[in-house]
């Protein structure tokens, strides 16, 4: 499970090695964390690391960092809304969505503190918060005002609520789903929509509720549950569906590894006006990076390096720090160079530290 460094506690074990910005090995896989190690990760500006085993939501102590604090708080509220029959009222977590929106408007980076939790329930709640933030960022690019952004965010944060009513064995099945199992999964938009109507029918605008029902519809009519097409799909749902696919594909799941962000970016770029509305795709892709900071890449001149910063106008041409020389190559200027491939942390370890 991936955790922000602010959530680490002594005794947790690393499930993947941690590298610094220049590609140097900071801590190896299997190491048991101590206070000293955690401090050294903070000193080296490491944001997230992978630790063994799931950490229950209740054990997550909320610390200073606003984004992470908000994410966990919102996840907890979402959990009680979904799980407890006399749980919190929808208005209570509208406040959290509003606070998330304030962060989005203040320009805080969405990719900085993604809480990527792989255990069943936690995945759905962390994913919901991330899809909410990504949807609001995209809405902002499309020029939405605050009221619209809030309505979009509320719909997006609830989009997968129906999954809490699906058998976890099917939801988290490691292998391929049977047709019958897939049909069960396909009931979650309608189940979520009905659940919200029963619980808090009047508290949400019809547009927010439509996101829950329509987020698996596709521009070409190939989605579910109603096979809606192009303009039949409301813009809020169209935005949420892109954010949903992007976040789900770039996250490790029990049945597959995460796809690298640049592959998902290119897949979305190629799918405009087939599966998704191309204006929404264009706005969405301007909010995310194909090569986030920390990605290890092989360049066309054979050099290997780590992405250290972005060039906003040319997302495929970031600045790369070469390993081991430390030379910085700005691909915005080095036009003869391209990124040839993305390398895993394991591959870097094998090449430089074996
Ligand atoms: Fe869904
Ligand atoms: Fe989803």
User: Ligand 2 centroid to 242 CA: how many Å?
Assistant: 10
Ligand having the closest approach to the CA of 217? 1
Structure token digits, residue 1: 């499970």
pLDDT of the residue at 243: 95
Ligand nearest to the CA of 189: 1
Q: Which ligand is nearest to the CA of 162?
A: 1
The listed CATH number (3.40.50.300, 3.30.930.10, 1.10.3210.10, 3.30.365.10) that belongs to domain 60-285: 1.10.3210.10
**Ligand having the closest approach to the CA of 131:** 2
- Of all ligands present, the nearest one to the C-alpha of 244 is 2
In 43-131, which ranges are E strands? 48-50
Domain boundary assignment for the chain:
1-53, 60-285, 296-352
Q: How far is the CA of 241 from the centre of ligand 2 (A)?
A: 8
Rounded to the nearest whole angstrom, what is the distance from the C-alpha of residue 130 to the centroid of ligand 2? Answer: 10
Cβ-contact 251, 167 below 8 angstroms? no
* Structure tokens that stand for 165 in this block: 């009513």
How far is ligand 1, taken at its centre, from the CA of residue 227, in Å?
Answer: 15
Taking the CA of 163 as reference, the closest ligand is: 1
Q: In what order do the strands lie in the sheet with 319-323?
A: 328-330, 319-323, 304-309, 296-299, 339-343
Q: How close is the Cα of 7 to the center of ligand 2, in Å? A: 24
Nearest to 70 by CA among 26, 103, 31, 107: 103
- In whole angstroms, give the CA distance from residue 97 to residue 128: 11
The Å distance, Cα 64 to ligand 2 centre, comes to: 28
Q: 93 C-alpha to center of ligand 1: Å?
A: 20
Residue 128 CA to ligand 1 centre (angstroms): 9
Alpha carbon of 36 to ligand 2 centroid (Å): 38
C-alpha 14 to ligand 2 mean position (Å): 28
Question: Which residues, given as ranges, of the chain have pLDDT below 50?
Answer: 57, 62-66, 109-119
pLDDT number for residue 21: 63
Q: In terms of C-beta density within 10 A (0-12 exposed, 13-18 middle, 19 or more buried), how is residue 38 classed?
A: buried
Taking the alpha carbons of 259, 8, 30, 254 in that order, is the dihedral positive or negative?
Answer: negative
Cα separation of the two ends of the chain: 25
Say which CATH topology domain 1-53 has: Molybdopterin biosynthesis moea protein, domain 2 (3.90.105)
- Predicted local confidence at residue 260, as pLDDT: 85
Q: How far is the CA of 248 from the centre of ligand 2 (A)?
A: 7
Return the DSSP state at 111.
S
């Amino acid at each position: 499970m991936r955790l922000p460094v602010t959530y680490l506690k002594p005794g947790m074990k690393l499930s993947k090695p941690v590298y610094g910005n220049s590609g140097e090995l900071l801590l190896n896989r299997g190491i048991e964390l101590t206070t000293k190690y955690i401090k050294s990760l903070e000193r080296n500006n490491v944001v997230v690391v992978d630790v063994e085993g799931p950490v229950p939501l209740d054990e997550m102590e909320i610390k200073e960092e606003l984004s992470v604090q908000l994410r966990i708080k919102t996840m907890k509220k979402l959990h009680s809304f979904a799980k407890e029959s006399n749980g919190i009222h929808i208005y209570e977590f509208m406040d959290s969505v509003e606070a998330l929106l304030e962060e989005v408007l203040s320009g805080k980076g969405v990719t900085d503190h993604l809480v990527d939790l792989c255990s069943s329930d936690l995945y759905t709640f962390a994913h919901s918060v991330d899809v909410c933030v990504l949807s609001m960022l995209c809405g902002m690019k499309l020029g939405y005002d605050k009221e619209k952004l809030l309505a979009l965010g509320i719909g997006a944060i609830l989009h997968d609520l129906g999954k809490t009513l699906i058998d976890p064995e099917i939801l988290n099945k490691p292998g391929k789903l049977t047709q019958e199992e897939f049909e069960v999964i396909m009931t979650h938009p309608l189940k979520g929509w009905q659940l919200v109507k029963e619980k808090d029918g009047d508290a949400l605008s019809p547009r927010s509720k439509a996101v829950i029902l329509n987020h698996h519809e596709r521009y070409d009519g190939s989605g579910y549950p109603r096979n809606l097409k192009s303009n039949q799909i409301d813009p809020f749902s169209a935005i949420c569906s892109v954010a949903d696919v992007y976040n789900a594909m770039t996250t490790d799941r029990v049945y597959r590894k995460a796809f690298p962000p640049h592959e998902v970016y290119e897949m979305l770029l190629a799918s405009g006006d087939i599966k998704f509305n191309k204006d929404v795709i264009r706005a969405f892709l301007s909010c995310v990076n194909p090569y986030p900071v920390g990605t290890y890449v092989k360049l066309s001149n054979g050099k290997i390096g780590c992405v250290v910063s972005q060039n906003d106008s040319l997302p495929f041409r970031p600045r790369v720090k070469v390993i081991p020389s430390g030379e910085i190559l700005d691909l915005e200027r080095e036009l003869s160079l391209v990124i040839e491939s993305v390398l895993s942390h394991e591959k870097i370890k094998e090449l430089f530290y074996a």
